Amino acid sequence: MIRLVFPLMDVLALAEHAIFAPRHKQLHLEHETGARAMPALWFVGDHGLYLMSNGLPGRSSGAGPDRPPDVYARGYHTAIDKHAIRQAIGGDDFVEVLALVERQPDGSALYAKLTGGAAAGATWLVFDMDHTHLELSLATGDAPL
């Protein structure tokens, strides 16, 4: 199991971009099946481990005109960083969709958890994960490594 931490305020900026965007980028499977893309954060493992908004148009960034700035997990900014932990998280590149407004099995939505946590003083979004499991939580203070 590995722990990844993301600055919550940066994650919230991405989440708000996705929620308020007029369109949403589709993953290949959504495109193939004709499913409608909903506001989401994409958790990506390729050139590092990071979150990105699926909202379009993207906010202006050095990554290109249709790509919002990514929020990297602390300490995982490069492909070398990602591949250094490949045994713990699986070796392949991946995209995991984190729906923002759809209700989860516990009845809450991720965006509500993020905004509620920020209002209560949380400063970090924490992922505890391995190659088959991803658990999200919020934390305050120094980055909980």
pLDDT tens, residue by residue, 2-30: 999 999 999 999 999 999 999 998 887 77
pLDDT band at 114 (very low <50, low <70, confident <90, very high): very high
Q: Which two tokens stand for residue 25?
A: 């980028």
Query: Is-above-0.85 flag for pTM?
Result: yes
Residue partners of 92: CB distance under 8 A and separation at least 6: none
Residue with tokens 């759809």, as numbered in its chain: 102
Q: What top-level class would CATH report for the domain 2-139?
A: alpha beta
Q: Are 38 and 111 in contact (CB under 8 A)?
A: no
- Return mean pLDDT, the chain: 88
- Phi, psi (degrees; rounded to nearest 5) at 113: -65, -45
pLDDT tens, residue by residue, 79-106: 888 878 887 787 788 899 999 999 988 8
pLDDT tens, residue by residue, 64-78: 555 558 999 999 988
H/E segment holding residue 25: none
**Closest C-alpha to 99, from 41, 58, 50:** 41
The pLDDT value given to residue 82: 83
